[in-house]
Structure 1
Amino acid sequence: MKETTRQKLIDATFEEVYSHGYQGAALTEILKNAGVHKGSMYHFFGSKKEMALAAIEEKVAERNLAKYVRILELENGYLQALADTLSNTKARDFRRGCPIANIVQEMSNLDEDFDRAMKAIYKKFRDYLKRILDKAFEAKEMKECDTDKMALFITSTVEGAILSAKASGDVKDYEDTVDMLISVLWQYKI
């Protein structure tokens, strides 16, 4: 599939914002890395902010949330698939951390649009986790529990584990935290 100009802008914007934060993201670098001129950007987006929000929303959905949708499409084995997904360190960039958390920490107090977008992304992540846990309960893979609270616990633990690994520079911090998280989850396994 041929990459469109819009997609090149989305990809370059996401990488620039993920690496340098929104405020540190240079429009000239985004355009250079996308291989397009400023006029092309304005054909698709009204501003750097609009482009950054679109990039974050689209790339997070593509990169991070799709793996949880895949679990929901299974017919069984929901808890094991969730544990495997959470344990997969190859799917994460511990040097840069979590793109969602990075933007929340940088922009949520400064800009309503970023705040609203990041809250929606976090809500979607928690909703996917809750739905996975609900399916696991329905499939008799786990005991009944408050799946909303468990989804919050998983989300908070994973985000904390990513931050710990980023801060220490040691992926083992993430692995150890997720091992403990899974041991808690297994207490509900049937």
Structure 2
Amino acid sequence: MKPSRARAPHPGQRKALDRSVKSTLFCPRCDFLGRFSMGRPSPDTKQILIDTALALIWMSSYGSVSVDDICKAAGVKKGSFYHFFPSKVDLAVAAMEHSYHEVKPLYDTIFSPDTPPLKRFERMMEVVIEKQTETLEKYGRVCGCSDTSLGCEMAGLEERIRVKFEELASRKKRYYENALRDMVAEGTLPPDTDVKAKAHEIFAYLLGQMTLARIQNDLNLLKRDLRPGLLGLLGLQDKAGSAA
């Protein structure tokens, strides 16, 4: 069965998207002025399209952002878009992969084996709140996780987006698994802990909290609930309470 096309945004969404396009044109992440030359598209054009798509889709949704919107915000002709990407889906998948590689160095630092395993999770929670605070200040709303928002919207319609989401999720959960194994080794967690299942629980909880904060546009939900909930999943809520 052929997937149905996403419906066009209603007038209110259209106005909000137009504001998003205008803000993206002046966004430090997407400041493209003067980076183009006549003739064959510059290699920079591909990265500009990826950055623009990430910003626009994160601020609104995949379905409400058209190829025309992306090209307009990026200052790129549609022919240049299709020079690099056969479709919007191809651009979305490339943007998801790029987004992961942008945060991978941060994951490597947070989950360094030299850091005590519980501290890795604590630092991860701090960084989540820091990053969501940055996007709130930049875009005027809580944006949550870009991959999760895209996956929730399109995984049932575009198999490549679903597969890419699963692939990136597996990479991130490996960091959690390694930290959990170290917690078992040091005796913080029981020796029979299923680290793969526990890593999946933590991953699902984290995405759920960010999605709820996005839906309610309330960063205080993360500040209030993220730490105690995650420590609860680790069975450490009593220790955290006594430490406080």
**Structure 1 length as normaliser, TM-score?**
0.84
Alignment of 1:59-98 (within 5 A): 59-63=99-103, 65-88=104-127, 89-92=129-132, 93=135, 95-98=142-145
Indicate which of 206, 218, 226 corresponds to 1:170: 218
- The 2-side partners of 1:182 and 1:123 are apart by 19
Alignment of 1:3-18 (within 5 A): 4-18=44-58
Change (3 A) 1:147 1:60: same
Bigger Rg, structure 1 or 2: 2
Alignment of 1:15-34 (within 5 A): 15-34=55-74
- The 2-side partners of 1:141 and 1:28 are apart by 55
Q: Within the alignment, does 1:154 sit opposite 2:202 as a pair? A: yes
Unmatched segments (≥5 aa) in structure 2? 1-34, 36-42, 136-140, 240-244
Offset of 1:42 from its aligned partner?
A: 2.4
Residue 110 of structure 1 aligns to a residue whose secondary structure is coil
Offset of 1:8 from its aligned partner?
A: 0.7
- The 2-side partners of 1:18 and 1:169 are apart by 13
Offset of 1:179 from its aligned partner?
A: 2.1
CA RMSD in angstroms, aligned pairs only:
2.5
- The 1-side partners of 2:216 and 2:84 are apart by 39
CA contact (8 A) 1:77 1:141 kept: no
Q: How many residues align?
A: 186
Bigger share in helix? 1
Offset of 1:153 from its aligned partner?
A: 1.6
CA contact (8 A) 1:9 1:34 kept: yes
CA contact (8 A) 2:202 2:230 kept: no
Q: Deviations over 1:141-168 (max 9, x none)?
A: 7333221122112111111211222233
Offset of 1:187 from its aligned partner?
A: 2.4
- The 1-side partners of 2:123 and 2:95 are apart by 27
Residue 62 of structure 2 aligns to a residue whose secondary structure is helix
Offset of 1:54 from its aligned partner?
A: 0.4
Structure 1 runs of 4+ with >3 Å offset: 135-138
- The 2-side partners of 1:90 and 1:115 are apart by 27
Q: Within the alignment, does 1:36 sit opposite 2:76 as a pair? A: yes
- The 1-side partners of 2:150 and 2:65 are apart by 12
- The residue number in structure 1 matching 2:29 is none
Change (3 A) 1:98 1:113: same
Offset of 1:169 from its aligned partner?
A: 2.6
- The residue number in structure 2 matching 1:183 is 231
- The 1-side partners of 2:102 and 2:220 are apart by 26
Q: Within the alignment, does 1:58 sit opposite 2:89 as a pair? A: no
CA contact (8 A) 1:71 1:132 kept: no
- The 1-side partners of 2:156 and 2:96 are apart by 17
- The 1-side partners of 2:212 and 2:89 are apart by 29
Letter in 1 for 2:93: L
CA contact (8 A) 1:78 1:133 kept: yes
Letter in 1 for 2:73: N
